[in-house]
Amino acid sequence: MLHISNTDSHFSNSIVFDEIGYVKNNFKSPTDALELRKYESLLIIYPEFEEGLQKIEENEYLQILFNFHKESNSQLKDSTYNGKLRGIFSSRCCKRPNKIGLTTVKLLARDGRVLRVKGLDALDGSPVLDIKPLCGILDGKFDF
């Protein structure tokens, strides 16, 4: 179970997430996200959530929400790959206030409650918080 608390004196609520599984790959420590995305990872989904995977293999791409579990720092500005400074909410840096990562991956295979994916920029052992299919009608065309 992941607890996120708001320490701002104006707020006293916290948010609790139950992880639905975890990441299995060869990356144990922070690594360049572009490098991570070149390799395959396994998403091991806990047995109590396996039913939620029904028909997931009908999707070519998935969005994975996970926790940056090895990141202890947070900051509001970060340097991008080109060295320019920008706010954390306009970057993909892992030093986020709530340590939540979001990546679109290619689903390669499903074996029961194990998903084999490519393109995930999460480390080995990262808690998986949610999985959503990439939906062309909602995610592919922005015509607001």
Q: Can you tell me whether residue 92 is helix, strand or coil?
A: coil
In tens, the pLDDT along 79-96 reads 666 777 877 666 666 666
- Quickly list DSSP for 57-76: GG-SEEEEEEE-TT-----S
Beta bridge partners of 22: 44, 127
Instruction: Sketch out the chain's domains with CATH numbers.
Output: 19-49+56-71+99-134 (2.40.30.70)
Phi, psi of 138 (to 5 degrees): -105, -35
What is the b/e burial string over 83-99, where b = at least 16 CB atoms within 10 angstroms of the residue's CB? eeeeebeebebbbbeeb
Judged against a pLDDT cut of 90, whether residue 65 lies above it is answered with yes
In tens, the pLDDT along 38-55 reads 789 999 999 999 999 999
